[in-house]
Amino acid sequence: MFNIRKVKDTIVSKSVIPTSTTARMNAKLLADNFKLKEDTSKLKELLETLQSNSPDVVQSPVSISQKVDLQKHLEQARITGHAAKLVELDKKATESQVGYNPNSRFVIRDNHRPVLATGCPSAKIQKQISDESVLRMAHGGKAYLSFQEWTDVGDSSNVGNPDITFQKYVEPVLASSTVPVYISKGDYYLMYQDSTCFFLTGNSQMPSVLRRSASECISGQTVDNSSILMSKGVGKYRDMTKTEYQSILDSQPSQAALLRIWIPFCNNDSILMDTSKATTIWSKE
């Protein structure tokens, strides 16, 4: 048996006769080494057997299945969070549309509280649609109420300059099919329709409705109502009867005489006369 060692820069080798103690130590080391290898092999074999029989019990600290489950969980959390955000966007849009009627003749536009669209995939797109709706409403158009409506119409950024002059919208009304009567002596038109007498002079565009106080007799009123147009009055008023209407056609009173008894009221239904079809009653004088 040789003992090799380094003394300073010189390697010294010499033969050493092992003693009984040295031999026993070396033999023990060899035995322990073989035993460790045998135990390691048995442990590895045991782990492989357990994994094959119960793969869910014995596995590595972070398995592939765990990584897949973690990715699914993160994706589900992302989808859930995005869905909650979309619900919040729709809630804001629904609240902004309260009181807005796109078919109304008059719309009060508040740029600080614009009308938002529902169904938007993101807050950025909802803001873009809102800006376009403000521009459209500035031109008298309708706001986008949904994302689908916006995609159907397309980009409206080229509408133009929003600084325009607004005019009151007047609902178009067709003239009544009832034929009016023209009193040539008094220079006015009368039309009786649905138990109501309509009165029109040459300098008026909209006929008025003739009514009288329900408490007055025909000959008891002498007030001049020619410059009055009532929307409503205190007290009770009634419409003209068919008999009274016929009496006026027969007597052909002047405007002053007619309006001493009958009071012009607003024609709230905007019923028009087709004066081109009027039947003329000529003066008897």
Position 64 confidence tier, pLDDT thresholds 50, 70, 90: low
Please write the tens of the pLDDT for every residue from 105-157: 555 556 567 888 888 888 888 888 888 887 877 777 788 888 888 887 755 44
* β-strand partners of 3: 14
The C-alpha atoms of residue 274 and residue 162 are separated, in whole angstroms, by: 38
Burial string for 143-172 (b: 16+ CB within 10 Å, else e) reads bbbbbeebeeeeeeeeeeeeeeeeeeeeee
Greater confidence (39 vs 193) lies with 193
What per-residue confidence (pLDDT) applies to 258?
A: 93
How confident is the model over 73-88, as a mean pLDDT? Answer: 81
Best-predicted range by mean pLDDT among 20-34, 75-89, 196-210, 237-251?
237-251
What per-residue confidence (pLDDT) applies to 21?
A: 59
3-class SS of residue 268 = coil
What per-residue confidence (pLDDT) applies to 199?
A: 95
Position 240 confidence tier, pLDDT thresholds 50, 70, 90: very high
Residue 216 in this model has a pLDDT that exceeds 70:
no
pTM: 0.41
* β-strand partners of 238: 212
The answer to which of 6-10, 40-44, 139-143, 201-205 has the lowest mean pLDDT is: 6-10
Please write the tens of the pLDDT for every residue from 188-210: 999 999 999 999 987 778 899 99
Position 51 confidence tier, pLDDT thresholds 50, 70, 90: low
Taking residue 197's Cβ as centre, other Cβ atoms within 10 Å add up to 21
The answer to which of 46-55, 94-103, 276-285 has the lowest mean pLDDT is: 46-55
Contact 139, 162 (CB under 8 A): yes
Mean pLDDT of the chain: 75
